[in-house]
Amino acid sequence: MKQIQINNTTVEAVKGDIVKQEIDAIVNAANSHLMGGGGVDGAIHAAGGPEIMADTDRRYPAGCLTGSAVASTAGRLKAKCVIHAVAPRYSSNPVCAELLYKAYYNSLIVAVRNNCTSVAFPSLGTGAYRYPLGEAAPIALKAVRDFLQKHDSITLIRFVLFDDKTLSAFEKELTQ
């Protein structure tokens, strides 16, 4: 576990399961069809129940573009909302880094719009989408730092990482 303070906001990296967090917004590593899948997405829908999919089907029938994020009900989860963020499938194209950055940044914008003051992120893109951790973690922290230079309503940003390798990669980026 590692924690730093950036302006008004605590930014931390913990090992754990994102669906167990008691926090305003839980970010999902979604796909652009918002169709449901494995990894974080499977865990969120399994724990949150069918209400989440019903809500995204109704509100976002066209899905969500890569690099964007949309909010839905959190169903049975202990959160105000789930924010579905779409990371890119990894390739060496530089546009990939920009899209991953935007997925994080836009999630935080959506959190503010939904009056959330605390947000839990998984490591977007580094599972099924194969983004290398050593590239993804600095992008995640750059997006968070840039966001916090312009917005101060979010008081807690927690990265909830599933394994030691992912936790270490994020802890390494958490320096004052």
Residues engaged in binding ligand ADP (CB under 6 A):
17-19, 29, 39-41, 43, 87, 122-129, 160, 162-163, 166
Q: In this complex, which beta carbon is closest to ligand ADP, that of residue 35 or of residue 54? A: 35
Q: In this complex, which beta carbon is closest to ligand ADP, that of residue 10 or of residue 32? A: 32
The catalytic residue among 41, 55, 152, 163 is 41
Minimum CB separation of residue 159 from ligand ADP in Å reads: 9
Nearest to 117 by CA among 171, 142, 81: 81
Q: In this complex, which beta carbon is closest to ligand ADP, that of residue 122 or of residue 154? A: 122
Minimum CB separation of residue 17 from ligand ADP in Å reads: 4
Minimum CB separation of residue 150 from ligand ADP in Å reads: 25
Tell me which residues are annotated as active site: 41
